[in-house]
Structure 1
Amino acid sequence: MPASWFDPVDNYCERTGPGFWAEPLNALTNAAFLAAAVYAFVRWRRAGGKDGPVLWLIAVTAGVGIGSFLFHTFARRWAALADVLPIALFIYSYFLVAMRRFLRLGPAAAGTATLLFVAFNMSFEPLWHGAFPGVTLNGSVGYLPAAGALVAVGGLCLKARERPAGRSLLATGAVFALSLAFRSIDGAVCPSLPAGTHFLWHGLNAVVLALLMDAAIAKTRSAAR
């Protein structure tokens, strides 16, 4: 039977049934993304309220929280799409912002670098599974390129003497690595921790997005001085 967009999805330790509130911690911790969006919006307003790229990132961050809430409540294939699309939008949008704002690439070079990153990201999972068959990291493999990008771009920022941005990206990469670890062990800890650890991924990942937007806003303010 062909898959339907309304087929149920049960990917997380906390879900033990089909109910709307079967993942209360996974659902409610998405408020952290909305809090991150509000925090960034306040910072954006204080910085002048004219930074279009950051406003876009704020809107996408709110979309991450809404999409993830839909996924962890309805738990259907269509909701999974609502979950992953805003995350991908944020990753690629921020990469482009970083190329332009931190590494000071021109529009063509920044766009080309972003397209190359998109292509690498989309091909990474098949390459990973070919090299490490059976190692899924509980579905977290697709986020490894984003973690690598934080470290790589942070290092390039330090080399380009964009030290505040470089330090911020590297510190954020450490937080993201921790959040990714909690996402990856969610299924493994079910016997001893029925609630799982996916909700910690939400909380820490919201911190990651807030830190990234803060770095972009800080760069705008320093450039205006």
Structure 2
Amino acid sequence: MALTDSVDIYCERLDPGFWAEPVNALTNLAFLVAAGVALGRARRHDAADPVTLALIGLVALVGVGSFLFHTVATRWAGLADVIPIGLFILLYLVAALRRFVGLGWLGVGAAVIGGGAAIAGLMSLIPQPPPGQPPLLNGSLSYAPALLALLAVTATLAVKRHPAARALALAAGVFVASLTFRSIDAAVCPNLPLGTHFLWHILNGTLLFLLLNALIRHGRPTPR
């Protein structure tokens, strides 16, 4: 299929128009607010290092990409939505393993590869719907690896009594809530025409701010 093909997968969209999803589109402001507030905090705490600034920039790009996806609603806009998300997840995981857990680069590589392989193995055990049927949980299973990685890092920090553990635990709880609202968007559509996807945006903006704030407050660059 072409990158310019239209995409219609959310409850709020009833036609191919630019503003067919006004609430889904405008709630992407949550990501821009999260990035702006985090940037201010990073500067005040003298924590505006390149990695933190890159993560803040990616959060802003998540908002821009998701806005495009919920307005232009094409496959290329979908890529503009998911690519910054994927980059943020990977970069934040590396930063967390380095700055919170205290791993060296070899340890980070082993954790990412080993953890990725384990999660991929678990995901492969989940039965998939037949061709032509809607994806399980409205496609939210694609975010399960990110949630599992966050839970693993949070548990490690809790055992170490790291000061960032509580913030990451709160972030994990927000992530579970946001995934729930993303998952039920199609299911509630007959009774709630607006859907629930906009809550995914608001809660994810909150989630990403919590993660950034934890890094700003408790994660300083390590020389190793």
Q: Structure 1 length as normaliser, TM-score?
A: 0.90
Compared CA separation, residues 126 and 23, structure 1 to 2 (3 A): farther
Name the % identity: 52
- Structure number with the higher helix fraction is 1
Cα separation, 1, equivalents of 2:78 and 2:124: 20
1:1-225 matches, within 5 Å, as 3-119=1-117, 125-130=123-128, 136-162=136-162, 164-220=163-219
Cα separation, 2, equivalents of 1:124 and 1:72: 31
One-letter code of the match for 2:207? V
One-letter code of the match for 2:137? L
Q: Deviations over 1:14-60 (max 9, x none)?
A: 00000000000010000110000001000110011542211110000
Tell me if structure 1 keeps the 8 A contact 2:11–2:194: yes
The Cα of 1:168 is off from its aligned counterpart by 1.1
CA RMSD, aligned part only?
2.1
Compared CA separation, residues 158 and 79, structure 1 to 2 (3 A): same
How many residue pairs get matched? 219
Tell me if structure 1 keeps the 8 A contact 2:39–2:48: no
Cα separation, 1, equivalents of 2:16 and 2:122: 32
Cα separation, 2, equivalents of 1:201 and 1:22: 18
- Deviates further, 68-77 or 47-56: 47-56
Provide structure 2 residue ranges, at least 5 long, that are not aligned to the other structure.
none
Compared CA separation, residues 155 and 66, structure 1 to 2 (3 A): same
Provide structure 1 residue ranges, at least 5 long, that are not aligned to the other structure.
none
Compared CA separation, residues 141 and 220, structure 1 to 2 (3 A): closer
Cα separation, 2, equivalents of 1:118 and 1:85: 18
Tell me if structure 2 keeps the 8 A contact 1:71–1:80: yes
Q: Structure 2 length as normaliser, TM-score?
A: 0.91
RCO (CA 8 Å, sep 6+): is it higher in 1 or 2? 2
Compared CA separation, residues 58 and 64, structure 1 to 2 (3 A): same
Cα separation, 1, equivalents of 2:9 and 2:53: 32
